[in-house]
Amino acid sequence: MSEFSDLFKDYVHKKNVKVAAMAQTLSVDRANLYKVISGKRNPSSRKVVSEIADYLALTPAEKQEFLELYHMAEIGRERYYQRKSALHFISSCFSNQDSLFDIKPKSYSETIIPVDFPEVSTAICGKEQLQQTLSLLCRQAVLSGSARIRIIAQPTWEYLFSLLKALSYLNANLNIEHIICLNIGDSPAGFKRSVYNMYCLEKMLPLFRCQCQYTPYFYYDNVDSHFTNMHTFPYYVITDDGALTCSSDIQRGIIYYQPDIVNLLQSTFTKQLASANTLFHMIGNNVKKYMEITLSSLGCTLEGSPCLLKYASPAMLAQILKIPECSNDDSLILQEIIGYTQQIDHYQGNSQGYSLTFSDVGMKNFLETGRIESYPDYLYNPLPMDMRLQLLRILLEQPDKNMPRRLKAPLSDLASYSGITINKTSGYLIIKQFDGQLMYLALQEQSLLNGLYDFIHNLEQDNLLYSYEETRDFIEDILAKYSAS
């Protein structure tokens, strides 16, 4: 039995439905329908489930629940929640809502008054007192010459992360080294490994958009046992001036200001850092490295902007690329760009699993600005309107396997600058920092790679993509609208 079959059976009984009459009306085999109700098999398709819901006269909310439980039964409970966590991560961190990251609070003054720390240790009881102590310790670190904060704590500590995001505005040289535990068992909330780890990634990613230098590291353990079984003060926040150790429930701790104790904890952190793994390899906005990692990560791509440069002719590329203006480190010759786009096109045309996407927000931004925001602004000039429309006409001439697909809600709101390119062994994320610069983050951790790849690879199965025909109709409507204006 499944939750879907339980709900189906409940509706049949409550509504006094005759299964034989329902099977005849829907043109399905009666024996198979009985097996679906008893949980011995699943319906053949989402379309059939939708027709059953309509026959049962379910409300829109009831129908949505009915379809969701069918999807869970179809792909399995664990995979269902794994994909839901990936969807929540992408919707939260890559949606077109920059206000979510406008976290500079008015309560933080641009000037922080330094204080002299007493060379004593102090016990702390209570969440409010502990967080006040943390705030003072971190704010003073912003003033120090090294401006360094070293952390061993889970990213679920929301106050700490809000504080760090705010302080990054006060000192762009703030350097944060962060060690987290990624889960190898069930998390405290009952989620499986990849779901909990995806949640941690969601909490950390906004720090990459700030002005600070943020470097996360990870190790594996069972989170539930690691932070609850005989680990009195597993959380550390260490600066050059002091160190705070505290319980994982943020209720008790000790603040140390004695130099010998602070140095001991610093060396302990350094030793643990040596045995941890880097979560991301940061590429910055180096386009040559971006092209290299893209080619090594080809598999599935989730992007807001339509990927149209690969349809551009050499003459078009020569017109828009700002090659002479590039720096020596990032200089790109035209043939490299052409070769790169040709390799992308060849891979897409010869791979069954490769996919490209665009969002409504990304398409609108492209048409209004001429920008393809997965590429840095310094690399190219905005495409003129006639070239934008020409590329869309070229796109419509492509076979289905070369077409990007339009994303359905909630991914229709995917920001134009956002992107994830991933396969089973490597992948990278594109984010935009507060100063407008793009950052490319190569993801190193396998459970996160698996979760994001499974989600993006199965967008169609999860009903998050419009069909090729619907995508073509959308582009044709756009061409008609902008050609007439």
Of the listed ranges 11-25, 96-110, 111-125, 459-473, the one predicted with least confidence: 96-110
Closest CA to 51 of 38, 70, 34: 70
103-112, 334-343, 419-428, 466-475, range with greatest mean pLDDT: 466-475
Domain 107-278 superfamily per CATH: Endonuclease Chain A (3.30.870.10)
Query: String of b and e for 312-339 (b: at least 16 CB within 10 Å)?
Result: beeebbeebbeeeebeeebebeeeebbe
pLDDT given at position 12: 94
| pLDDT band per the 50, 70, 90 thresholds, residue 352 | low
**SS3 state at 124:** strand
Tell me which DSSP letter residue 435 carries. Answer: T
- State how far the alpha carbon of 314 is from the alpha carbons of 21, 304, 335, 341, 408, in Å: 63, 24, 9, 10, 33
Closest CA to 426 of 329, 289, 315, 300: 300
Contact (Cβ atoms closer than 8 angstroms) between residue 162 and residue 280? no
Contact (Cβ atoms closer than 8 angstroms) between residue 32 and residue 24? no
Reply yes or no on domain 3-75 having CATH 1.20.950. no
Q: Do β-strands 357-358 and 405-406 pair in parallel, antiparallel, or remain unpaired?
A: parallel
Q: Indicate if the pLDDT at residue 112 is higher than 60.
A: no
pLDDT, mean over the chain: 84
Of the listed ranges 51-55, 105-109, 253-257, 477-481, the one predicted with least confidence: 105-109
| pLDDT band per the 50, 70, 90 thresholds, residue 354 | low
pLDDT given at position 103: 44
Token digits of residue 482: 């902008």
Q: Is the dihedral of CA 290, 296, 301, 307 positive or negative?
A: positive
In sequence order, the β-bridge partners of residue 302 are: 420
Average pLDDT over residues 62-82: 93
Burial (Cβ within 10 Å: 0-12, 13-18, ≥19) of residue 32: middle
Amino acid at 258: Q
Cα end-to-end distance, the chain, whole Å: 57
pLDDT tens by residue, 308-345: 877 888 888 888 877 544 444 444 555 566 566 666 66
pLDDT tens by residue, 208-233: 888 789 999 999 988 877 776 667 89
24-33, 328-337, 347-356, range with greatest mean pLDDT: 24-33
**SS3 state at 276:** coil
Average pLDDT over residues 271-295: 80
Q: Indicate if the pLDDT at residue 389 is higher than 90.
A: yes
Q: Delimit the domains of the chain by residue range.
A: 3-75, 84-96+282-484, 107-278
pLDDT given at position 46: 92
pLDDT tens by residue, 393-430: 999 998 888 889 999 999 999 988 888 988 888 888 98
- Enter the pTM of the model: 0.85
Token digits of residue 443: 């993801």
Cβ neighbours of residue 335 under 8 Å, at least 6 residues apart?
none
Token digits of residue 105: 């609070």
Q: Do β-strands 252-256 and 277-278 pair in parallel, antiparallel, or remain unpaired?
A: unpaired
